[in-house]
Structure 1
Amino acid sequence: MDQVDIEALVDWAYRVQCVDRVVGLVRGQSMPPLGMRSSTDVMVSFAALGVRVDSSPRFVAAMGATAQDDALVIHDAVMRLLPEAFGLVVAHAKGGSRPPWHGLDAEALVADTDKRGRVRLLREHFRPIACCLRHRVDPALVEFSRAQYIVWWEALNALAGELRGQLVDSYPLPPSAAREPWLLPPLVYVEERFGMPLDTA
């Protein structure tokens, strides 16, 4: 049994095995995802078919789904995550990415000003030719993106624990990605006037 990083396992389930598509095709596109069906929906399907429909991963595999059993077990565990964590885990697994913890939308180049609020200008022969720029970071957007990253990381860590001993071919390891990569060197510089100390920038 191979020891595999949980991030790689989830990526494999959603990008290689396309487990969400396989489960969706077997269940039918009109049927809500596992764990989100109301009791009324279950009764309607029972009335229409005359039998209770088993929607467990083993049933899906028995129906001839091509995704491996381990991918179905991973998908079932991911479906039990809280909605925000579920969305982040699946979106980044499909994209082969990680949540940005210092997004470009948080950064901007702005005109530099003096103490009186006047824009600093570069002049040539007393004529202004350009204004000086400085780098600014919006602390609220940085804080939000880093909170999203931690939700994603904690969800993967919880999945690794839940799936331990549940998979046939793999033993899931906790995520190798740093929980707080912004604390690793090199630290990002943010001007003091924006109220973010260096070690949390």
Structure 2
Amino acid sequence: MKQVEIERLLQWTFCDQKSRRSVPGYGYQNSWAMLERHLRLGCSIDSSPRRDCLGDVSAFPDSDALIVAREVGKLSSNAVVDWRESKKLLLGNLVGLASREQFLVFDEIALVIEQACTGISPIWNVGLPKVRPSILGNGKPAVTGTRYGKNRYSTGAHCPLEWAQPTIEGVALARARYAVWHSALTRLAGCLSGKLKNIVAVPPISRASPWNTAVQPRR
């Protein structure tokens, strides 16, 4: 049996086999198309063909692809990331900048299929948080205090600062999305063990939390 990384297995399932989703000229949905419909709607719809329209069996996807797709459909469509337990893992030495809790919830099914179709992992490196002066409606920096003339201000006058893009919340969101995707792939590889006919699913080759070891760009 051939060993295939779960990332490549998913690409094969949702890209290479997707061309066999229907039978041309019959208005008949094969097992792949019906499975996709079930993943989107969350329920089965009776779309049985007429007895005289069996279609072209060559249009059916590989049986292993159907098994992979069914296992993807068993993932959570409402995966919640526990902020208190995960913020240190997600932010590392940036955790002190997180001033409030975040509610992070993801659709694992949609996320796994989306990334399989694009052929890339979720983008986690959106840069480091930056601060900038708070800008008024006229485009000028806000100033707290009294201005008496050019470069003359009352004691204690200052420009309030605010987070620019990416914010600390944006960094956490991007990394959480990647972490949920990676966790889903790891579980999928385990669930597929012994279920496929010609393939052995290998755990993801992508790192679980690359931001903890990646060299951060200088700012």
TM-score normalised by structure 2 residue count: 0.58
Could you report, residue by residue, the CA deviation over 1:84-138 in whole angstroms, capped at 9, with x for unpaired residues?
Answer: 110110001011111111237x87795799x9656xxxxxxxxxxxxxxxx8631
Confirm or deny: 8 A CA contact 1:92 1:98 kept in the other structure: yes
- What is the identity percentage for the equivalent residue pairs of Structure 1 and Structure 2? 28
Q: Which residue of 1 aligns with 2:63?
A: 69
Q: Secondary structure at the match of 1:172?
A: strand
Aligned 1:48-67 pairs, distance under 5 A: 64-67=58-61
- Residue 97 of structure 1 pairs with residue 97 of structure 2: no
Aligned 1:1-201 pairs, distance under 5 A: 1-18=1-18, 21-22=21-22, 25-26=29-30, 32-33=37-38, 36-37=42-43, 64-83=58-77, 84-103=107-126, 117=158, 137-188=166-217
5+ unaligned residues in a row in structure 1: which ranges? Answer: 50-61, 119-134, 191-201
Structure 1 window deviating more from structure 2 (83-92 vs 11-20): it is 11-20
TM-score normalised by structure 1 residue count: 0.62
More helix by share: 1
Q: How many residues align?
A: 159
Q: 1:183 to 1:63 in 2, by over 3 A?
A: same
Confirm or deny: 8 A CA contact 2:3 2:199 kept in the other structure: yes
Q: 1:166 to 1:19 in 2, by over 3 A?
A: farther
5+ unaligned residues in a row in structure 2: which ranges? Answer: 51-55, 78-106, 135-140, 142-155
Q: Which residue of 1 aligns with 2:146?
A: none
Q: What is the aligned-residue RMSD (CA, Å)?
A: 3.9
Alpha-carbon distance between aligned partners in 1 of 2:60 and 2:187, rounded to the nearest angstrom? 27
In structure 1, give the amino acid aligned to 2:198: D
